[in-house]
Amino acid sequence: KTKPSQQSVAKLREIGIQPDILVCRTDRPIGDENRQKLSLYCNVGIDAVIECRDVSSSIYELPLMLAEQKIDEIVVKRLGLQCKPIDIAPWREILQDAYKSVYESITHGGIANEAAVEIVRIDAEDLEAKGTAQLEGLDGILVPGGFGNRGIEGKILAVQFARERKIPFYGLCLGMQVTVIEFARHVLGLKQAHSTEFAPQTSDPVIHLMESQKGVITKGGTMRLGVYDCQLTPGSKARAAYGQDRIQERHRHRFEYNDAYRQRLESAGLLVGGVNPQTGLVEIVEVKDHPFMIGVQYHPEFKSKPNQAHPLFAAFIKAAIGKSRGA
């Protein structure tokens, strides 16, 4: 809703203050319609309506998010200053370090397979701008978790590349969600398939906020946080990797696989590898007739150890080694 912001600006005007920039705290995309409303009724340029979304995965995403919306250029221009273009690269490096637990888990998977793993970091936004040529020659592709829509289409491109080229793929949390989106778009033919986190009005919300959570106002209330059970599907790759029927994994997310699409997705080849036995929520998806393509809604990197690699990281690296050796 934009009314509270409009009323706040009206109060400022009453005491003679006209804002030059609106920084809008939100847990979801503002959307073009709301941005236009705020610009019109608050008398602020539309480019000066800045979206400041939750970045629960890492606070270091904030400088990148604000730079993407050119808030620095707006401030400098308003103050009549001359400044050099900012160098945001150090912040990108810091953000990469935020994924340290994922990198370490990959290394653990290598140890379990008696192999040294070379990690190639690729920015999803580069895939959007330059295409997938830089993915050529990789033996495995992993899309980690995260929040926010920056680079989301690049992640979907990486998923498509891995699926079509039969390259071992592993998606964590958001990585699982983009796996579902990509499959729905390019296999089911649902061209508008998306997550309501990024496209609230999508006609095919294959990833959505759980029905029971839609009335919850506070962001903490909508966060599925902590350890949950997962019942593994007999015959699935996940079941083979874990070597047991039921597991427990740590979660940190708000949006879920939309069960309304399950029958169509499974019929087309995106199989369910595990569900939460209490709620029926889908926790694992696997692509049929693929060497290794698994997406999990949880964060397995939090349970991996040097002397006890997480089963799925070990299985992913094993599949990547097989790809490297032409198996």
Catalytic residues: 173, 299, 301
CA distance 39 to 21: 10
Single out the residue of 213, 207, 217, 239 nearest to residue 225, CA to CA: 213
Cβ neighbours for 234, distance < 8 A, ≥ 6 positions apart: 245
Residue 197: closest CA among 8, 9, 29: 29
Please spell the DSSP secondary structure of 62-83, one letter per residue: HHHHHHHTTHHHHHHHHHT---
Question: What is residue 324's three-state secondary structure?
Answer: helix
Query: Tell me, what DSSP letter sits at residue 260?
Result: G
State the DSSP code for 318.
H
Q: Which of 242, 240, 238, 236 is nearest to 297 (CA)?
A: 238
Q: Are 283 and 275 within 8 A, CB to CB?
A: yes
- In Å, how far are 178, 226, 313 from 142, measured between CA atoms? 12, 23, 10
Phi, psi of 40 (to 5 degrees): -70, -50
Structural contact between residues 246 and 223, judged by C-beta atoms closer than 8 angstroms: no
Residues 6+ apart with CB under 8 A from 315: 109, 237, 240, 241, 292, 294
